[in-house]
Chain A
Amino acid sequence: MSNPPSPSPPTHVLPPGTRFDPSLASRMMTRHGHGGWLGLTYHAHGEDWVELSLPWREELVGIDGAGVLASGPIISLMDNATSMSVWTRSGKFVPHATLDLRVDYMRAARPGNTVIGRGECYKLTRTISFIRGIAHDGDPADPVAHVIGTFMATHGPYR
């Protein structure tokens, strides 16, 4: 096995430790890359939660031509929303990596409907953040999916 030269240090989206304002930062973070391609946009936030929206489009359909969104975009939506909820709770941008994510699909999102992903950080330790969330397509009481997972701070503690 060859050891390729280590890649140059990652350039973070924000300098680590920057005060995190979800409404501003998510606008920047969802403009480029995968989030930008998906069309993720800021929807709302509170002390320990962030909502992003994922507009329906034909390209994101995953199953049998029924107009049903693939689960990939839902996972990406929830990964981003829960990630931002961690920085929102922590109050600052702390580089971290998703350790695991579990998604339970309650039902298919309705074709044509924008999906709202609400991510919540319910516990923050020095190095691990515990997150959960739901995705819904109009009625938060009738979610499309439930999500639970963890992140790990990679370049210094959350607090």
Chain B
Amino acid sequence: MSAQQTLPPYAEALGIVIDHDEAGEPVLRVEFSTRVQGRPGFLHGGAMSGLMEMAAFAALRAELAARGEASMQLKPVNIQVEFMRGGTEQVTYAKGTVTRAGRRVALVNAEAWQDDRTKPIALAQIKVLLIPAE
């Protein structure tokens, strides 16, 4: 289901793709390029955040689709990002985990990692309003 999701123009333009599916939750990937580079040699924190945001939305869409609410509109309320390690010049992955999706609001965690999944480079927590399509 989630593998068929299309990511928004921002994701496509940055080179963010769905890598694979993990128990219904999509894992996203972005290759290192100058488009995502911050200070020389490192991944930009904003690009990291953007990747985690896309992963969070993809996980939430997958969950909503599974319960027959694929047409729900999503509106971000806020995001809190913790940067734990510098991202280096290599591929970066991110996955969202839906912590709680009620009828009106959802809380999604996301994490980003590079070569070692047990050492995430950043965490994000995103709150999203769920708006039924008219």
Q: B residues touching A (Cβ–Cβ < 8 Å)?
A: 8-14, 34-42, 44-47, 49-51, 53-54, 73-83, 86, 88, 115-116, 118
Within 8 A of B (CB), among A38-93: 38, 58-65, 69-73, 75-77, 79-80
Q: Is the interface of A mostly helix, strand, loop or mixed?
A: mixed
Q: Which B residues are in CB contact (< 8 Å) with A97?
A: 83, 86
Q: Which A residues are in CB contact (< 8 Å) with B10?
A: 59-62, 69-70, 72-73
Q: Contact between A10 and B8 (Cβ–Cβ < 8 Å)?
A: no
Bound CA–CA A85/B88 (angstroms): 25
Within 8 A of B (CB), among A1-54: 1, 4, 7, 10-13, 32-38
Q: Contact between A79 and B34 (Cβ–Cβ < 8 Å)?
A: no
The 8 A-B pairs at the shortest CB distance, nearest first, are namely: A72-B50, A76-B46, A34-B44, A70-B10, A33-B37, A59-B13, A75-B49, A37-B35
Can you name 20 A-B pairs with beta carbons within 8 Å? A4-B115, A32-B34, A33-B39, A38-B46, A58-B9, A60-B10, A62-B10, A62-B11, A63-B75, A72-B10, A72-B47, A73-B10, A73-B50, A76-B49, A76-B50, A77-B46, A95-B39, A101-B45, A101-B49, A102-B78
Cβ distance A31 to chain B, nearest Cβ, rounded Å: 11
Q: Contact between B80 and A33 (Cβ–Cβ < 8 Å)?
A: no
Q: Contact between A7 and B83 (Cβ–Cβ < 8 Å)?
A: no
Is the interface on chain A under 10, 10 to 19, 20 to 34, or 35 or more residues?
35 or more
Q: Which residue of B lies closest to A11 (CB)?
A: B40
Contact of B83 among A4, A11, A63, A99 (CB under 8 A): A99
Bound CA–CA A64/B38 (angstroms): 28
Q: Which residue of A lies closest to B115 (CB)?
A: A4
Is A104 on the interface with B (CB-CB < 8 A)?
yes
